[in-house]
Amino acid sequence: MEHSPPLENIWEISGDLWEQIEPVLLEADPPKATGRKRVDQRRLLNGVIYKMRTGCQWNNLPKELGDDSTIHRAFQRWVRLGVFARVWAMVEESQGVAGPTGTGNGSAAPSAKPKTGQQGAVASQPRRTS
């Protein structure tokens, strides 16, 4: 695969790269036949990439990338479906940063494993009693 020119910023994917990623997302996570119109998947992916590359909290994503909750839900769905690791590898490969572990240059690619051992569960801290 030829390397794409460096990203103009660290979160917007190029048209050429999107042409490779879109079919992967559509195959693994096709839109539902009924219900609300689907949010732009490319914009969601840009939001996820921004989060992974900057390390910011989900609720601190820039508003121009979309609703933080929507982006986070898409990310969780892609991880659950096993598609995010494939997409992230494509992003890194296009930039020439893929390393021997598949996570590239130490970027913040998630392990896709919930910390508590239950899918979707959140580790909680004990409540203080006064």
pLDDT of residue 112: 44
pLDDT of 99 above 50: no
Average pLDDT over residues 31-56: 91
pLDDT at 116 over 90: no
Among 104, 124, 105, 106, which Cα is nearest to 114's? 124
Burial 109-127 (b: 16+ CB within 10 A, else e): beeeeeeeeeeeeeeeeee
Residue 106: pLDDT band by 50, 70, 90 thresholds?
Answer: very low
The tokens describing 30, both together, are: 């096709």
Average pLDDT over residues 81-104: 75
* Predicted pLDDT at 91: 87
CA atoms of 83 and 70, how far apart (whole Å):
17
Instruction: Give the lowest-confidence range in 12-26, 37-51, 108-122.
Output: 108-122
The token pair that represents 28 in the structure block: 């693994």
Domain ranges of the chain: 1-130
Query: What pLDDT does 2 receive?
Result: 52
Beta strands per DSSP E along the chain: none
Q: How far apart are CA 41 and CA 71, in angstroms?
A: 9
| pLDDT reading at 14 higher than 50 | yes
Q: What is the pLDDT of residue 9?
A: 67
Looking at the chain, the whole-number percentage of residues with pLDDT higher than 90 is 45
Q: Per-residue confidence at 97, pLDDT binned at 50, 70, 90?
A: low
